[in-house]
Amino acid sequence: MFDDQQPAKMEAMAVAATFASRGYIVIAPNYGGYGESTMSYHPYLNGDLLGKDSADALSAAYSTFNAMNVVANGNVYLTGISEGGYSTMAANKELQQRGQQVKAVVPISSPAAISLLVDQTAHGNISNGGTFFMPLLLNSWQHQSGDIFQNSNEVYATKYANSPDGIPTPFKGMSFQDVVNKKIVPEEQLFPDSSNVPNKSNFFKFSGPDALLSDNFSKDFVADTENNSCDSDFFDKSKEGFPFEPDRIKFQAGGFQLLNAAIISILPSSYSQAAATAIDIIANLKDPSGGSTPAGNVIKNALKLIFPSQADQITNMIGNFTDIVAYEKKPLLSVDHTAATYASIAPKFNCTPKNTFRKAALRNDLRRDWIPPNPMLMCGGGLDPTVPFISSVATIANLRNQGVPSSMADLLDLEVIPSPNSPYARIFGLFKIYEGISFYNDNGATQSSGIKKFLTNYHAGTVSPFCLMAAKMYFDTNN
């Protein structure tokens, strides 16, 4: 948390600020490979090592408590963001094996279903920041299994394979932008054009002449995903979880969901009055002067009441009104109507990949061979381009398929309007207002570059603070 070389420093500080200020004792261990660790690499998404490291940190903390005469009540809660969300689940599994009881767990934006995310990459659904994550994965899993490559030229394009071990990780003291600026990795281009990976993003260019990965590795990886698919049915059945079309983002982030009578009571008073007036306008299809107006103008006037400083952007955005509001009718997988809904799409782990990188991903996928023994809430946002929320959906789907009820493993997508009696309703309302302000401030309503900026900040800056609020609430109800 106080390690300036740790890229996750700010996320750790956010966790500490949320819980330490409310009476929790916060233990925030550093990752192996960072700080004073003697490891020459960082075991990124190595479930076994990350779980053991976190469990060992808890034991060390208890020893420190004794030396400081600090008395803890014995209740252990686990939460973390992104890789921290993955580590949280790995620690939960390790502590279970050690006989240590955990009260509740909240993984936030967790890449738990890492084999799904890896296969998703080969299908063209590539994570923003993929050129940053790929060296971390390759380096970590090469140390774990030793069979992914013999020389870095096998996996990296020549210009990036600057040592036999490949690109050195961790990237100590460097943000993703620092790594790009130093030309350690390209900003977006993961695959060479020869790999024929489709680019399914409207905002990021994931293939090209400056690609990070070599031709041979890319072709073998993509071919094995097609020939020995692990999650092909899940891709087909959950296609609504993947697309990041401009109109979908405008609908989700532009405030349209705030124009819903069911959420007026959960908004702060200044916004609830504006929303109530807006909803009344919509219900009567009239503008404030009383005249009848086309539906697009009604929505435009309503949004201007909630975001008055963004009138020009809203006016321009409503030009595509019909296409935008069409997303209101589309199903979102994170709405858990029945256990059967998830059971029907839960992937089965009967695949046998031949590509060693995919084998490592399957080995470290936290959906395999584990059911949490304590309540778990997986939180995130459905517009996350960095760790797609489909990872959390797939993880819960797998648990539902094994008969685990929502009381023991639940899902919170901050992009989905909650039920009226949901304890997270007010958090949803606050999130949607903050999200809308961020979206308009980034010029997302009028510029493609604005949407890209909004998406780039979404994972760490937009979703995480509100999932931490939900984690605090979840822990309070499982004390």
Task: Write the DSSP string, 396-411.
Answer: HHHHHHTT--TTTEEE
pLDDT averaged over every residue in the chain = 84
Specify the long-range contacts of residues 323-327, CB closer than 8 Å, at least 24 apart: 323/247, 324/247, 324/250, 324/251, 324/254, 324/256, 325/251, 325/256, 325/299, 326/247, 327/247, 327/248, 327/251, 327/252
- pLDDT tens readout for residues 165-177: 678 888 877 888 8
Q: Give the mean model confidence (pLDDT) for residues 347-371.
A: 91
Cα atoms in the 13 Å half-sphere on the side-chain side of 41? 19
Q: What is the CATH number of domain 1-112+242-332+366-478?
A: 3.40.50
Q: Coil, strand, or helix at residue 183?
A: coil
Q: Retrieve residue 40's tokens.
A: 């020459």
Confidence of residue 337 (pLDDT cuts 50, 70, 90): very low
Q: Of the ranges 9-13, 141-145, 235-239, 397-401, which one carries the lowest mean pLDDT score? A: 235-239
Predicted local confidence at residue 132, as pLDDT: 94
Which residue from 425, 411, 474 is spatially nearest to 110, judged by alpha carbons?
411
d(C-alpha 302, C-alpha 290), whole Å:
14
Average of pLDDT values for 103-112?
98
Q: Which pLDDT score is estimated for 196? A: 87
Per residue in 58-88, pLDDT (tens digit) is 999 988 888 888 888 889 999 999 999 999 9
233 vs 184, more confident:
184
Mean pLDDT of 315-333: 70
Percent of the chain whose predicted confidence (pLDDT) is above 90: 48
Evaluate if residue 134 carries a pLDDT over 70.
Answer: yes
User: Is residue 127 over pLDDT 80?
Assistant: yes
**Worst-scoring range by mean pLDDT, 57-66, 84-93, 335-344, 345-354?**
335-344
| Domain range list for the chain | 1-112+242-332+366-478, 117-228
Q: What per-residue confidence (pLDDT) applies to 72?
A: 85
**pTM to 2 decimal places:** 0.90
Do the Cβ atoms of 30 and 53 come closer than 8 Å?
no
The tens digit of pLDDT for each residue in 4-58 reads 555 555 666 667 777 887 788 888 888 888 878 888 899 999 999 999 999 999 9
Instruction: Fill in the DSSP letter of residue 375.
Output: -
